[in-house]
A and B are shown apart, each in its own frame.
Chain A
Amino acid sequence: MFFKLISRGSRRNRKENSLFFSSLLVSVLAFYMILSLSHQDVMIFLTRMESDAVDKLMTIIPVFYGLTLFILFFLIYYAGKYQLERRRHEFGVCLMLGMRRVRLFAMLLIEDLQSSLIVLIIGLPAAVLLSELVSLITARLVGIGIIGHHISFSFRAVLWTAAGFLLIKLMAFLILSGRISRQEIGSLLVETPDGVKKQMPALVYGASVLLGIFCLTVAYGLAIHGEAWSGVRQMGLTVFLGLLGTFAFFWGLRFPMELALRSGKHNRKLHVFHLRQIQETVIHRSSTLAICSLLILAALCCFGTGVSVFRFYGESEPHVLDYTFTDCEEEKDTEFIRQTLAAYQLDTCFSDLFEMRTGYIRTTEDHEHAFRMEPLMSALRELPASTDTEVLLNNLGYATYPHLIPLEDYNRLLAAAGLPKLTLDAKEAAIYMDSGFTNFERTKLLNRILETEPEAILDQETIHLTGTVQTTSLVTDRSITLAFALILPDEMFETYTQGTYNIYLNGILADEETEQDNLMSVISDLNQRLDKTGLSYESYLQNMGRQLFYMVAASYITIYLAIIFLIIANTVIGVQFLMSQQKTNRRYRTLIRLGAAYDVLCRSARTQINWYFGIPATVAAFSSLFGVRSLLGGLLSFDARSNLAEMMFLSAAMILGLCVIEYIYIAAVKRSSDRYLLTLMVPMREE
């Protein structure tokens, strides 16, 4: 009989409380996802390319696991609380019938274990599948041909997931059941709402709302103007003001609600009732709402930032070069590299090997005035003021001693990239700027000016700037970039550099090599063979690895955290609502007696749910507009910040997307509420 009771209880829990059950499933998924990160295709790829950085990231994984454990504990705690609260009466009856508290405790423990095992049985395969799916999607996004795909199953992750899940489940259970079993039988049998709390004068609440708005405004100001990032103290102050503002705002919310109650139109069906219900929630649980709002804010900020960062670092330039051999100072060095490659029979792996020379102006020592382009700068100054012209004027102001690139080498690069050749007459030069230092708008501005072929002075000699701004990367290594350089006809290059320059030997893999296998395998194999030659080189994949690392480290984790935060906040809000709805079931019964139809009750509950979710979500969404902007401004590098407007737009779109998720959650809670109200429509004998 005892075990029959247990299995019935466990089955009923799953059936009646899908919200609770899905929270548990989410926990399992979240644990496995973070623990199996090292088995994801992208990470395997990164380990081979950027092992040091990945190792560092992997050492953070246990910390993340611990953090997730901690956060998910609250999720399970709240969901479990709701689960046990709805069965209070049943426990009271069991105790009344003489069940010992120890036996009740044992019954609940076995029930809990049973449901935990079922969750693990369903959740673990689902988690493995999801992880596989994420791995495949990221592999596809990055380019499956490049990194390949492996099964991401990790037995260790499965074990740790099960252990972590059972641990937090047990902890939550011990706390909750301890509380329930300590209660008087009488209080278990009677469901009572929280009652009316002692109210303070309205002025106090009004002041609290104003204080909250003031603190939040100051925090927004500090965040958006970048002061928050100028030091630990400023950041601490911003966060403190933000937290204080949110809590004060939610605590004081009962004031505007009271005003709404007094002045609102009371003719709408149950208007006063649902306003009072919402007010009660705000009064009794203002701090929970504030915490949920902050969690949603954190989720929105993480998501917005993660996606923007992913987008920025994910914007890869066209793939032209596969290898660059460095350590060349003279022509004979490149010859030596070619010979070494031939000696190791590696020369056939490349379809093309060509030099890329860059040097400084050696004909003058005056670094401050070696190059001047006053007509171009004047033309820029005459353009309508904008951020782009301001940035250009500032950056180009420093271009007094530019790098020089010979036309021949650059044209070979263009040919490799499949771009048209550049032609320059004597006394003509083209501007080169790495794509990291310009953007579409700025390049367009400069190109318009370059159409007039403005004059410039290169070591006291007049030249004309012509063509369009060139941006194709000179070498594979993306950390070697030139902010400003001049492409000169070869004779001019030789004259100005006086034969002193750096030489990079660029290589492009032969088609037959890349056709055999995915690019990662080909380059990995070739790297092993090249390592034996003792040559210094940089490969395309190492660069890509570096970029991917930023993407994965920044976006994967932020998006992961965003999802966890969002799930917790929404589950807590949903569970709190359903819990208070059940606690106040008598009110609904009274309304039914007074003639409230089912649809009227549902509408009222739905309005309450909209408000209940809407208040914290709206505050969070509003704050996130400042939060995301501040995070992007503070975390991104200078060149990434130049695309801030675009990223803000992207973040806003993501926030909108998250609002859709919020809507789905609200719809789920509404369905649960409707189902519950339907059970109340059946009359209950109360004698």
Chain B
Amino acid sequence: MEPVLKIESLKKYYGRSKNQTKALDGITFQVMPGEFLGIMGSSGSGKSTLLNCIATVIQPTSGTITMNGRAIQELKGAALADYRGKEIGYLFQNFELLDNLTGQENILLPLSLHGVPEKESKKRLEQLASYLEVKDVLHKFPAQMSGGQKQRIAAARALILKPGIILADEPTGALDSRNAKALMEKLLGLNRQEQATILMVTHDSNAASYCRRILFIQDGVIFHELRRSIPEESRQEFYTRILKVMAQLGGGSANVL
């Protein structure tokens, strides 16, 4: 099976030689179709830079990112915009809903951006709204929604164009534990039922426990990987393992398991 996303020797350096910061220093990994991959690491470890490189928000210094067989660094103009809108779905920590648009308008925004007729996605909208339980707030403005509703609207927006991969940047970061759990269950459901490929960056060990595989990044390099054995290992057991790694993370690479 071909990977959805292939990252090879990805480097991103900031600044000149003397004061250079190596945000990513030769990262290589793959994401397979239908995978739910988590990226964990402390603040400044390079996980957001990695996500931004995949989302083409920033240009890597070197290395390649291949999405469905296409090197994304070579994309320009309309092809690049199409990649951002159609191949990836982005889920932000702060939802990033447009506060002057209703829930439905926010969800349909990518269609308008990429010239997709609304009729085609009407069924998809209904399906997503009902699955994510946001039907009641479709005609409300973000200011009239709860945090959980906002994030689920944002999730519907990320999914409306059936992207090849969903990039989630700390999706539970701004949610309380109840809403965070509800969101993660919905994401897991999407992953299992629709075979949606998800790449999630998170600090939250609880959210990470929903993933099937977790990469731990420190100082711009992958220093550890955890895989959940399904069905033998329960989510609780996996969570415990994550916590152990996180405890080690505080002590740096010398304390790696």
The stretch that binds A, out of B2-10, B99-107, B192-200, B248-256, is B99-107
B-contact 0/1 string along A98-136, CB 8 Å cutoff: 000000000000000000000000000000000000000
- In the complex, what's the smallest C-beta–C-beta distance from A264 to chain B, in angstroms? 11
Interface residue stretch chosen among A67-75, A272-280, A656-664? A272-280
Does A193 lie at the interface of the complex (its beta carbon under 8 Å from any beta carbon of B)? yes
The smallest beta-carbon distance between A27 and chain B, in angstroms, is 34
**Cβ-based interface call for B171 (8 A):** no
Interface residue? A597 (CB, 8 A): yes
A591 within 8 A of B: yes
A683: chain B residues within 8 A (beta carbon) = 52, 57-58
Q: How far is it, in angstroms, between the C-alpha of A195 and the C-alpha of B52 when the chains are bound?
A: 28
Contact code string A172-211 (vs B, CB < 8 Å = 1, else 0): 0000000000000000000001011000000000000000
**B96 is an interface residue with CB less than 8 A from chain A:** yes
Query: B43: CB under 8 A from chain A?
Result: yes
Q: Give Cα A272 to B55, complex, Å.
A: 25
Question: Is A421 positioned at the interface, with any CB of B under 8 Å from its CB?
Answer: no
Q: Are A268 and B144 in contact (CB under 8 A)?
A: no
A271 CB–B CB distance under 8 Å: yes
A595 near B114 with CB under 8 A, answer: yes
Does B100 lie within 8 Å of A594, measured CB to CB? no
With beta carbons under 8 angstroms apart, the residue of A196, A266, A590, A593 that contacts B144 is A196
Q: Which of A196, A268, A589, A593 contacts B112 (CB 8 A)?
A: A268
Closest Cβ–Cβ distance, residue A180 to chain B (whole Å): 24
On whether A594 and B113 interact (CB within 8 A), knowing A266-B108, A683-B58, A687-B48, the answer reads: yes
Which residues does chain B contribute within 8 Å of A596, judged by CB atoms? 81, 113
**Complex formed: what's the CA distance from A267 to B143 in Å?**
25
With an 8 A cutoff between CB atoms, is A269 at the interface? yes
- Say whether B216 faces chain A, with CB atoms less than 8 Å apart: no
Is A146's beta carbon under 8 Å from chain B? no
Q: Closest CB of chain B to A498's CB: distance in Å?
A: 88
Q: Which of A266, A276, A591, A593 is in CB contact (< 8 Å) with B100?
A: A276
Instruction: Tell me, yes or no, whether A522 is within 8 Å of chain B by CB.
Output: no
A68 to chain B, nearest CB (A): 37
Say yes or no for A535: interface residue by CB 8 A criterion: no
Q: Is the CB of B48 within 8 A of A273?
A: no
B168 to chain A, nearest CB (A): 13
CB-CB under 8 A from B97, the residues of chain A are 590
**A270 at interface (Cβ–Cβ under 8 A)?**
yes
| Chain A 341-376 interface 0/1 with B at a Cβ cutoff of 8 Å (1 = within) | 000000000000000000000000000000000000
> Which chain B residues border A594 with CB–CB below 8 Å?
84-85, 90, 109-110, 113, 157
Q: A478 to B97, alpha carbons, bound, how many Å?
A: 72
Which residue in A270, A273, A586 is a CB contact (below 8 Å) of B96? A586
Contact with A along B74-90 (1 / 0, CB 8 A): 00011011111110001
Instruction: Using CB atoms, name the residue of chain B closest to A591.
Output: B113
The verdict on B231 contacting chain A, using a C-beta distance below 8 Å, is no
CA distance A683 to B105 in the complex (A): 25
User: Is B143's CB under 8 angstroms from A196's CB?
Assistant: yes
Q: Do A593 and B57 touch (CB < 8 A)? A: yes
Is B100's CB under 8 angstroms from A196's CB? yes
Cβ–Cβ contact B112 & A271, under 8 A: yes
Contact status B113-A595, CB under 8 Å? yes
B141 within 8 A of A: yes
Please give the number of chain B residues whose Cβ is less than 8 angstroms from any Cβ of chain A in the complex: 38
Chain B residues within 8 Å of A687, by CB: 43, 48
Chain A residues touching B, range: 20 to 34
**Across the two chains, which residue of chain A brings its CB closest to B78?**
A597
A207 to B112, CA, bound (A): 32
Whether A193 contacts B99 in the complex (CB less than 8 A), given A267-B118, A269-B113, A600-B113, comes out as yes
Cβ contacts A525-536/B at 8 Å (1 or 0 each): 000000000000
> Quick check: is A11 within 8 A (CB to CB) of the other chain?
no
Question: Beyond A276-B101, A277-B100, is A196–B77 a contact (Cβ under 8 Å)?
Answer: no
Q: What chain A residues lie within 8 Å of B80 (beta carbons)?
A: 597
**Which B residue sits closest to A268, measured CB to CB?**
B112
> Are B117 and A267 touching (Cβ within 8 A)?
yes
Check B99 against A196 for contact (C-beta < 8 Å). Answer: yes
Contacts of A595 in B (CB 8 A): 81-86, 110, 113-114
Asked whether B15 is an interface residue with its Cβ less than 8 Å from the other chain, the reply is no
| Cβ of B102 to closest chain A Cβ, rounded Å | 9
Q: Chain B: which residue is nearest A279 at the CB level?
A: B100
Q: Report the separation of the CA atoms of residues A193 and B141 in the bound assembly, to the nearest whole angstrom.
A: 14
List, in ascending order, chain B residues with CB within 8 A of A448's CB.
none
The distance in angstroms between the C-alpha atoms of A596 and B86, with both chains bound, is 11
Q: Which residues of B contact A (CB under 8 A)?
A: 43, 48, 52, 55, 57-58, 77-78, 80-86, 90, 92, 96-101, 105, 108-115, 117-118, 141, 143-144, 157
The 10 lowest CB-CB distance pairs between A and B, nearest first, are A595-B85, A595-B84, A590-B96, A597-B81, A683-B57, A276-B100, A196-B141, A196-B143, A280-B100, A595-B81
Q: 16 A–B contact pairs at CB < 8 A? A: A193-B100, A196-B99, A266-B118, A267-B118, A268-B112, A269-B115, A272-B112, A273-B98, A276-B98, A593-B84, A595-B82, A595-B86, A595-B114, A596-B113, A597-B81, A683-B52
Q: A269-B112, A587-B98, A595-B85 are in contact. List 18 more A-B contacts (CB 8 A).
A: A195-B143, A196-B99, A267-B118, A273-B112, A276-B100, A276-B105, A590-B92, A590-B96, A591-B109, A593-B57, A594-B84, A594-B85, A595-B81, A595-B110, A595-B113, A597-B77, A597-B80, A687-B43
